[in-house]
Amino acid sequence: MELSERKKKVLRSVVDLYIRTAEPVGSKAVAELPDMNYSSATIRNEMAELTTLGYLEQPHTSAGRVPSASGYRLYVDELMLDYRLSIDETKSINSAIEEKMQRIDKMVENVAKLVSQATNLPAISAASRQGGGSVTRFDLILAGRGSVILVLMLSGDQVVNKLIKLPISITESDLKVLCAVLNAAMTGLVLEEFTPELMDRVMRSAGAAANLVPVIVDFTTEALRGMAATNVSVAGQSKLLGLPEYRDVEKAQRVLSSIDEDAFSNLPAVMQGANGTKVLVGPENVADELKDTSVVMTKFDIGDGLQGMIGVVGPTRMDYAKVTARLSYFAESLSKMFAKPEQPQLEEGKHEEN
């Protein structure tokens, strides 16, 4: 059943007010709104009906009304007015992205931080690859006494490397042979195709440098696994504590620790189908601890089969309009950033160990 225009207006006002104040809103408060030309009594009647329809709830007789989950749902789907980002906001988002994205190996982490700052709520960011990658090219560099640098070029123009130290020394020509064998036998293979038999075969034809093969295969499979793995980061958890609904420490802790954990490693799955921004209101969340909490998420494209996702966690009474606007803008900016090759430089690799 379709609500009357006035009912919609009242519902929207109630949600808006509740978002602002975090306190149950009464008929009087709504009636006093600038463009509300009815008396509090009329509003009262409308609110009573909205309550029986299930869009509003009252904590107790004679408190104001609070939006119910379906109230929020309706608000998000139909009622909420688009929030227009100010020039300042877009500017600050852009410059934040520019500044922080240079070292992309921390991309996920940084994005989470930025989103959290922009929304003043805890934020999640994740990147995951659809389907497994493969090695495009093997290179081996002799780096002085017993050291060999293995350089893998992976599908999606990603490059990783590893320094291998050997007890024995090895000649340049041995490496050349091995390198050729590797490129012939192992390029284009996905993770599952790295069988023990394959390794045996490669080792037999690898000549003098055969003892390098196991290390190389190990690292290669690990790199492919790493490509497939989902990278998740959470930032700004403490922002939650500033909100009145989390004055209850128990609750705050439940929510925080459920975000803290790697509970989100399968979250990108939720995003699979949906396009654009998705809003999960309170009980729509699967996790029990989040029944009282809303999540707003958006996908963005990193290109090369990489899927990015950013999201925000907050009270059911969160400023959906503003949050969705900011999130979408973020996603858009990020997608754009990854789409354009900017400089002649495109790929970069960095890593350290012991």
Partner DNA sequence: CTTAGCACTCAGGAAGTAAGAGTGCTAACG
Partner DNA sequence: CGTTAGCACTCTTACTTCCTGAGTGCTAAG
* CA triple 316-332-340, angle to 5 deg: 155
Residue type, 230: T
- Structure tokens of 262? 């790697």
71 interacts with DNA by CB under 7 A: no
Q: Using CB distances below 5 to 8 A depending on partner kind, what does residue 60 bind out of DNA, a second copy, none?
A: DNA
153 interacts with a second copy by CB under 8 A: yes
Q: Backbone phi, then psi, for 314, in 5-degree steps?
A: -160, 180
Q: Which residue's entry shows tokens 């009573």? A: 48
Among 102, 169, 171, 266, binds a second copy (CB under 8 A): 102
85 interacts with a second copy by CB under 8 A: no
Distance CA 238, CA 345 (A): 37
Among 33, 38, 94, 329, binds DNA (CB under 7 A): 38
62 interacts with DNA by CB under 7 A: yes
335 interacts with a second copy by CB under 8 A: no
Q: Backbone phi, then psi, for 158, in 5-degree steps?
A: -105, 140
Distance CA 272, CA 309 (A): 10
Strands 277-280 and 293-303: antiparallel
Q: Using CB distances below 5 to 8 A depending on partner kind, what does residue 63 bind out of DNA, a second copy, none?
A: DNA
165 interacts with a second copy by CB under 8 A: yes
Burial pattern 26-43, b for ≥16 Cβ within 10 A else e, equals bbebbbeeeebebebebb
91 interacts with DNA by CB under 7 A: no
Distance CA 230, CA 135 (A): 19
63 interacts with DNA by CB under 7 A: yes
Q: Residues interacting with DNA, by CB under 7 A?
A: 24-29, 37-42, 44-45, 47-48, 51, 58-65
Q: Residues interacting with a second copy, by CB under 8 A?
A: 102-105, 107, 137, 139, 141, 143-144, 147, 149, 151, 153, 156-167, 215, 218-219, 222-223, 226, 235-238, 241-242, 246-247, 249, 252-253, 256-257, 260, 302-304, 338, 341, 343-354
